[in-house]
Amino acid sequence: MRIRVINPNTTHAMTAAMGEAAQSIAAPGTRIIATQPDSGPASIESHFDEAVAAVGVIDEIIEGEREETDAYVIACFGDPGLLAARELTRAPVIGIAEAAFHMATLISTRFSIVTTLGRTGIIAEHLLAQYGFTHHCRRVRAAEIPVLDLEESGDAALGRIIDESRRARDEDGIGAIVLGCGGMAKLTGEISEAVGLPVVEGVTAAIKLAEALVGLGLGTSKHGDLAFPRPKTFTGHFERYANSSALR
């Protein structure tokens, strides 16, 4: 099985870290291809960043289709370009936020999210409502750490995430923590040990869901709104998508 883990930002170290976390949890015989767009934001911390990054996600899906990929993971907690990506393939496409929410509800009736910045916490709240998990989430908490600090200030960033996770445990009446950033993919064990609660991280959760869907023979439905896009004219920078067989 080939699973393409798409980091929608352009930071190589983060792509490598998420790829390692994914491979460590994957079943024998599952090959992880961790990749990122050639252009886009170095980190994703706003709606604007997500909009730009979504184009890179689309290009990575198109490339993955040429390589006969079995499933895809969009490894950013904003799930940028998720539905557009699903339109381009019959393979399962899993966003790490949606995956983490599902997994957390299987082990606890209530969870809190610990994310990087307050503004990205608001984006997480939008996703909770969109996916129907608002009533499961007690609180979205921000450690106020820029995403790239997860790579550049490892121990200090980890300490702040643990501190916020402990506050969630003590104040929120929850049974599990959801980590709200793909850059936290390798921190799950340390945080869970320090906090004493199950910790759900979206990249690894998405890998196991992707393996399950492929194993069940389930792919993205091509009936309704996730059907392949209709061929049409694109101009300028997006002319490469015009009537393209890559979009079908």
In terms of domains, do 141 and 171 share one?
yes
Higher-confidence position of 96 and 151: 96
The answer, yes or no, to whether residue 152 has pLDDT greater than 90, is no
In a shared domain, residues 128 and 215: no
pLDDT at 111 > cutoff 90: yes
The answer, yes or no, to whether residue 247 has pLDDT greater than 70, is: no
Predicted TM-score (pTM) of this structure: 0.95
- How many domains, the chain? 2
Q: Are residues 134 and 171 both part of a single domain?
A: yes
Whole domain around residue 140: which residue ranges?
97-202
Q: Is 119 found in the same domain as 197?
A: yes
* More confident: 166 or 247: 166
pLDDT value for 242: 86
pLDDT at 149 over 90: no
Residues 59 and 151 in one domain: no
User: Mean pLDDT of all residues in the chain?
Assistant: 94
Tell whether 88 and 59 lie within a shared domain: yes
pLDDT at 240: 87
Instruction: Say whether both 46 and 90 belong to one domain.
Output: yes
Bridge pairing between strands 71-74 and 2-6: parallel
Long-range own/partner contacts, residues 78-83 (CB < 8 A, 24 or more apart)? 78/44, 78/50, 78/120, 78/123, 78/124, 78/127, 79/127, 80/8, 80/44, 80/50, 80/51, 80/53, 80/54, 81/8, 81/50, 81/53, 81/54, 81/55, 81/57, 83/225, 83/226
pLDDT in tens, 181-212: 998 988 999 999 999 999 999 999 999 999 99
Residues 185 and 64 in one domain: no
**pLDDT tens for residues 9-48?**
999 999 999 999 999 999 999 999 999 999 999 999 999 9
Which CATH number does the domain housing residue 130 bear?
3.40.50.12500
| Six-digit token string for 201 | 């991280």
My answer on whether 87 and 105 are in the same domain is no
Residues 80 and 158 in one domain: no
Verify that 103 and 183 share a domain, yes or no.
Answer: yes
Residue 100 has pLDDT above 70, yes or no: yes
pLDDT at residue 135 greater than cutoff 70: yes
Q: Return d(Cα 153, Cα 21) in angstroms, integer.
A: 19
80 has pLDDT over 70: yes
| 217 and 156 fall within a common domain | no
